[in-house]
Structure 1
Amino acid sequence: MNSIDRIPISKVERASNLVQTGAKVGVNYLKYYGKKLTSSETDARTKLNQDNAEDIYDGLKKLKGSALKVAQMLSMDKSIMPQAYVEKFSLSQFSVPPLSPALVLRTFKKYFGNSPHDVFDRFEAQSVNAASIGQVHKAMKNGKTLAVKIQYPGVANSIGSDLALVKPIAIKMFNIRGKDSDKYFQEVENKLMEETNYNLEIEQSMEIVAACKHIDYLKFPTYYPKLSSEKILTMDWMNGEHLSEFTAHDNDQKDLNHLGQALWDFYMFQIHTLKKVHADPHPGNFLVSPEKDLIALDFGCMKTIPDSFYIPYFELADEDNLNNPVVFKEKLFELEILIPTDGKNEIEFFTQMFHELLSLFTEPFQQETFDFSNKVFFQKISNLGEKFSKDTALRKMNGNRGSKHFIYMNRTFFGLYNLMFDLKSKNVKINNFKNL
């Protein structure tokens, strides 16, 4: 994979890059209209999605940072994005063009004050893993093999301007409008800013390790604050395969089951006991060790769950509440899915829509154990997402629905469900979260 010698940092450069990408997308649409004349709508649309996904991803990966992070977030929701986008954008999770060795050395010295060769006994300037906000290098010190994560130059300073450029796309795609829509973009901006603070990530990582080390088959690296800074993070090098690589093999079902149980227990303990959750569950943040333990990495994106959201959110996972029209509607108002200015039509529409959605999405919580290899369950989720994306009535209404906390909680559950399905784990003990 070709390395990058510089990253566009200024607002003008980054905006120019996105304009060029937009022009390519425009050409793709011209090709699409021409292809419709000689082939089926399905074939023409498939080709359009493939071309657009390729061009948009190529543009974003040069920018890195928050622009690429948004693509990563979108790739996690397979019910919304066409498959071509999911496949291409998912590369942003752990496989993008790295910085060149020369730029790595300059960046490290700028952020740490010393050359990496003065800090470590050995440092490999060629990265082993590049993602949206930073890339990882292998190093040695005092006989220990280490992973050193270096943040890309200019990432923190470009978050606000990047999101301003992406905002029109998000508004069109997710039908977000109205005077309160800024609260969603502010939530994303705040979380992205936190992810650029590696001092905070070290603190959060050590907190999670201490709290979750009791979970069976779950391992974590040790973190080294003295070898880290706001833009440099050093931890143990962990041997293993990325989860997506591991699941591509023909694995023993027993291994898949205990890995899935470890993953589920990890998330349920965070959500229901810590009230703070690792809100970035994608394959690039998990490894499977040679001993078939699950290794959790990268705690830069942590979402604190306030009781004002947690209580009504999980009360709607209770089957009795789901089937009680009065209680159900009351909780929808508490979660800002229904709003005081809604008329009769809006209340009926969104109550029915979210009852259908939540009845399906909370299905695992209604059982003692759940089979996450069940293709029917996940096909229902996909079909429901497709149904809502095509709903003309929904497009005419204000799609600006729900508490700002939904953004990262939904991201957490979509990501977790996708990982559980990839593992094809069976007989996963769900646990009664009321008793956790």
Structure 2
Amino acid sequence: MKTQNHIPTSKVARASQFVKAGVKVGGNYLKHYGKKLLDPELTKEELHQDNATDIYKALSELKGSALKMAQMLSMDRSILPRAYIDQFAMSQYSAPPLSGPLVVKLFRTYFGKTPQQIYDQFDMNAVNAASIGQVHQAWKDGKKLAVKVQYPGVADSVSSDLRIAKPLAIRLLNLNEKDINRYMGEVESKLLEETDYELELTRSMYISEQCASIPNLVFPTYYPDLSSKRILTMDWLDGFHLKDFLKTNPSPEIRDRIGQALWDFYNYQIHDLRQVHADPHPGNFLMRPDGTLGVIDFGCVKVIPDFFYDNYFRLINFDTLDDDRATMEIFRNLEFIVPEDSPKEQAFFADLFKKMIVLLGKPFATQTFDFGDNTYFDTVYAFAEDLANVEELKNSKVARGSQHGLYINRTYFGLYSMLNELKAKVVTHKPDWLISRRLRLEMQNAG
């Protein structure tokens, strides 16, 4: 893979890269409509492919929050055309890596030594390169290690990158500025946390220890003495990323075992720890033929405030939806309904969000759920497409939903997506208070 010898770090250089991407997108539109004059039946597939390629090339050279946005978007099949999904998915673990001299320079900056002076052996060729950093293999004291090295300038460019990228995001995603601004602070804070490897080290060790007893999960050991604010060292875990794992044609039993481990991992983090690995994309998991699951990269962790947790998850117990007064109170608490809404708007949005909760909360309403059911996911994606075209939402004076929901919703979307690709059937473990009366009765009758 071609390496990258330089990353633009100044605001001017990075802004220029965004501008170049925007110009190329504009040129692609002109080219598309010129061809369409000659061929009225021409679809937008070629346009999407050209745009996706040009935007990804620009973002992959910038690294950091710019590439992270592509990674986040690649998880959402309801927002972007397929060409973008396929191209942006590369940011999960196959972006262009840094060259050797840049890697050595980083080690000298943070340790005062070269990697060869720190480890018994260090492979200068990165095995994975993603949005915030890249991973190298190393060996020390007989142990095979994974060493995550952060790209230079990433931490310092988060805020300015998000401001520069906002117009491109508005144009690409067809969002309005108030929707973008609503959640910019939440995204910015999480991206800044992801660049702090000392914080990631602390969280990695804590969550790994707390979740160690969950069946079929495997966590690496972390090494504080070999880590710093921009370099993180841990045990090397063997395994396949999801796409490559599926090529091995695993049995349904193995798929279910891994799927169950994923569900139980997230169930425990959210409901017991109240903090969660909020970046559930395939690049952060290693799947094994024996049905065990390696979990890596705790850079993005969402700490769930009690007020948000209590309101958000009360809706997952569908008994709550039978109580209109309680439901409306929660909708106001979660900012689904806002003080400016007229009675007519309140009724409209309450009905809309009830439908959304029933659909997305369906796995919680049963003892087991077949995530291989594509009919369910087709319904979810169709609902998302319809939601994007709801005039009342488009014309609403405010963006709806607590900013805390941004990463929790993203977490469940990523979890559901991976379980769907695994075609896994899982027991949907949940806290006792989330079990509805109907489900409890079913469980009693079955027992």
TM-score tier after normalising by the smaller chain length: over 0.9
Which of the residues 391, 415, 429 maps onto 1:431? 429
Of stretches 105-114 and 69-78 in structure 1, the one that deviates more from structure 2 is: 105-114
CA distance in 2, matches of 1:343, 1:22: 39
Of stretches 336-345 and 229-238 in structure 1, the one that deviates more from structure 2 is: 336-345
| TM-score in terms of structure 2 length | 0.93
Unaligned runs of 5+ in 1: none
Matches within 5 A, 1:172-183: 173=173, 175-178=175-178, 182-183=181-182
CA distance in 1, matches of 2:5, 2:341: 53
Shift, 1:290, TM fit: 4.3
Matches within 5 A, 1:341-420: 341-398=340-397, 400-420=399-419
Shift, 1:326, TM fit: 2.6
Query: Could you say which residue in structure 1 is the equivalent of 2:277?
Result: 278
CA distance in 1, matches of 2:335, 2:113: 50
**SS at 1:268 equivalent:** helix
1:293-326 residue CA offsets vs partner (Å, 9 max, x unmatched): 1000000110011110011101111112223333
CA distance in 1, matches of 2:392, 2:186: 27
1:77-96 residue CA offsets vs partner (Å, 9 max, x unmatched): 11222211111111111110
- Structure 1 pair 32/434, CA: closer, same or farther in 2 (3 Å)? farther
Shift, 1:182, TM fit: 4.0
- 2:185 pairs with 1:186: yes
Matches within 5 A, 1:8-407: 8-39=8-39, 43-171=42-170, 173=173, 175-178=175-178, 182-398=181-397, 400-407=399-406
CA distance in 2, matches of 1:28, 1:345: 43
The one-letter code matched in structure 1 to 2:33 is: Y
Please say if residues 22 and 168 of structure 2, whose CA atoms lie closer than 8 Å, have aligned partners that are also in contact: no
Shift, 1:183, TM fit: 5.0
**SS at 1:157 equivalent:** helix
Of stretches 160-169 and 116-125 in structure 1, the one that deviates more from structure 2 is: 160-169
Shift, 1:47, TM fit: 1.8
**SS at 2:43 equivalent:** helix
- The total of aligned residue pairs comes to 433
Please say if residues 122 and 137 of structure 2, whose CA atoms lie closer than 8 Å, have aligned partners that are also in contact: yes
CA distance in 2, matches of 1:91, 1:357: 30
Query: Could you say which residue in structure 1 is the equivalent of 2:444?
Result: none
**SS at 1:7 equivalent:** coil
CA distance in 2, matches of 1:73, 1:272: 24
CA distance in 2, matches of 1:434, 1:293: 27
The one-letter code matched in structure 2 to 1:278 is: H
- Structure 1 pair 104/282, CA: closer, same or farther in 2 (3 Å)? same
Shift, 1:344, TM fit: 3.0
The one-letter code matched in structure 1 to 2:237 is: M
- Structure 1 pair 363/209, CA: closer, same or farther in 2 (3 Å)? same
Please say if residues 28 and 50 of structure 2, whose CA atoms lie closer than 8 Å, have aligned partners that are also in contact: yes
Of stretches 270-279 and 29-38 in structure 1, the one that deviates more from structure 2 is: 29-38
CA distance in 1, matches of 2:246, 2:288: 13
CA distance in 1, matches of 2:49, 2:432: 44
Shift, 1:39, TM fit: 4.0
CA distance in 2, matches of 1:109, 1:402: 45
CA RMSD across the alignment: 1.7
- Structure 1 pair 414/354, CA: closer, same or farther in 2 (3 Å)? same
Unaligned runs of 5+ in 2: 435-447
**SS at 1:303 equivalent:** strand
CA distance in 2, matches of 1:174, 1:208: 37
CA distance in 1, matches of 2:361, 2:127: 38
**SS at 1:234 equivalent:** strand
The one-letter code matched in structure 1 to 2:432 is: K
| TM-score in terms of structure 1 length | 0.96
**SS at 1:319 equivalent:** coil
CA distance in 1, matches of 2:239, 2:91: 19
Query: Percent identity, aligned pairs only?
Result: 50
CA distance in 2, matches of 1:225, 1:39: 61
CA distance in 2, matches of 1:321, 1:343: 23
The one-letter code matched in structure 2 to 1:387 is: D
Please say if residues 276 and 303 of structure 1, whose CA atoms lie closer than 8 Å, have aligned partners that are also in contact: yes
Shift, 1:177, TM fit: 4.3
CA distance in 2, matches of 1:176, 1:429: 39
1:91-120 residue CA offsets vs partner (Å, 9 max, x unmatched): 111110001112211122112221111100
**SS at 2:229 equivalent:** coil
Of stretches 244-253 and 393-402 in structure 1, the one that deviates more from structure 2 is: 393-402
Shift, 1:248, TM fit: 3.2
The one-letter code matched in structure 2 to 1:73 is: M
The one-letter code matched in structure 2 to 1:101 is: G
CA distance in 2, matches of 1:260, 1:12: 45
- Structure 1 pair 355/38, CA: closer, same or farther in 2 (3 Å)? farther
- 2:29 pairs with 1:7: no
Please say if residues 247 and 423 of structure 1, whose CA atoms lie closer than 8 Å, have aligned partners that are also in contact: yes
Shift, 1:435, TM fit: 5.2
